[in-house]
Amino acid sequence: TAKSLGSEINIYSDQLKKDIVNQIQMVNKLQVGIEKEEFTLFYQPEFNLHTNEIIGVEALVRWPHPENGFISPNTFIPIAEKSKQIYALEQWIVNNALKQKLKWEEDGLEHIELSINLSSKTLESESNFQKIEQIIASYKVDYTKIIFEITETVIISHVDTAIERLNRLREYGIRIALDDFGTGFSSLTHIMKLPIDIIKIDRSFIKSIPKGNEETVITKNILSLAQDLNYRVVAEGIETQEQLEYLKLISCDRGQGYLLCTPLPSDKVYEVLRSSDDC
Ligand code: C2E
Ligand code: CA
Ligand code: CA
Ligand code: CA
């Protein structure tokens, strides 16, 4: 009836109001968080699946909020992207990740690769991309051990600018990884035109292993095609022994996941990298 429909609409608009209020509050909290540098970086190791050696680590931002506890990047990154606060946040992230890389190099961990996630927003903005380039140039790290992870969104919306900016990073010797591969619409033939070195297969595909269903077949085929095309392939989100065994069986060489190691604070990951501690 019209009456119940009316109250339904009210419920929806109440929810909408709440969402908007929450987002505004989050934007305000982010402002304070960025000013007070409330963020920290965790590092999740990436493994050679055959030898169990750690090849590198992925920097993942954490926000231990003074009142709200840990807030997930899945919550605050999209809001920061909308509010353009991502630029300042990402400058902080890249700056701190490279500072850490330099420290590790000085401490005998020069062989460890460092992956940093880069928002498509930063890649799309020339002035903000330049700020990231300035930060990169200010740290004389071994750039061949640096990887920037990007997602498909940027490639679809701004192909030519994306290619040009990714090539600027590659001039340093930095490599580019395509994150969450398989969740978007790009095919490998499309990706071949782009300056990409590494493909990270999204964990939604790994999750389905080894039930013999479509995702498993897709994983197997993405892997062999990507390897034929000379991409390095990394499997994300390995959670079970079964998944690990299957990935090794189909010759997937590299992977990350809770089974192998969760993201760790820098001091903990340092102990793990020095192999004095287990994950
Ligand atoms: P992502 O780049 O795909 O990162 C992988 C996410 O999967 C991380 O979540 C990681 O903790 C989680 N993960 C790792 N292994 C497993 C596993 O075995 N099972 C499951 N279920 N999850 C696993 P996190 O740290 O919460 O980050 C979520 C997303 O937020 C990231 O997805 C990335 O898109 C974004 N993000 C995180 N840190 C940064 C950052 O420093 N900069 C930018 N631009 N985005 C970031
Ligand atoms: Ca990533
Ligand atoms: Ca991913
Ligand atoms: Ca992601």
pLDDT digits 0-9 by tens, 121-149? 999 999 999 999 999 999 999 999 999 99
CB atoms under 10 Å from CB of 53, counted, come to 11
State the Cα–Cα distance between residues 133 and 168, nearest whole angstrom. 9
pLDDT for 134-189, tens place per residue? 999 999 999 999 999 999 887 777 888 999 999 999 999 999 999 999 887 777 77
Distance of CA 127 from the midpoint of ligand 1 (Å): 26
Residue 269's pLDDT is what?
A: 97
The token duo for 28 is 């305000």
**Comparing 171-175, 265-269, 274-278, which segment has the lowest mean pLDDT?**
274-278
Tokens 């009210």 found at:
10
The structure's pTM equals: 0.94
State the Cα–Cα distance between residues 140 and 90, nearest whole angstrom. 19
At residue 122, what are phi and psi to the nearest 5 degrees?
-65, -40
* Confidence bin at 276 (pLDDT 50/70/90): confident
Q: State percent of the chain over pLDDT 90.
A: 73
Diameter of the chain measured on Cα atoms: 72
- For the Cβ of 257 lying below 6 angstroms from any atom of ligand 1, the answer is yes
- For the Cβ of 61 lying below 6 angstroms from any atom of ligand 1, the answer is yes
Distance of CA 62 from the midpoint of ligand 1 (Å): 10
Q: Which amino acid is at 61?
A: V
Residue 1's pLDDT is what?
A: 59
- For the Cβ of 77 lying below 6 angstroms from any atom of ligand 1, the answer is yes
Residue 189 near residue 225 (C-beta atoms within 8 A): no
pLDDT for 206-243, tens place per residue? 998 877 678 788 889 989 989 999 999 999 999 999 99
| Whether the predicted interface score ipTM is above 0.90 | yes
- For the Cβ of 60 lying below 6 angstroms from any atom of ligand 1, the answer is yes
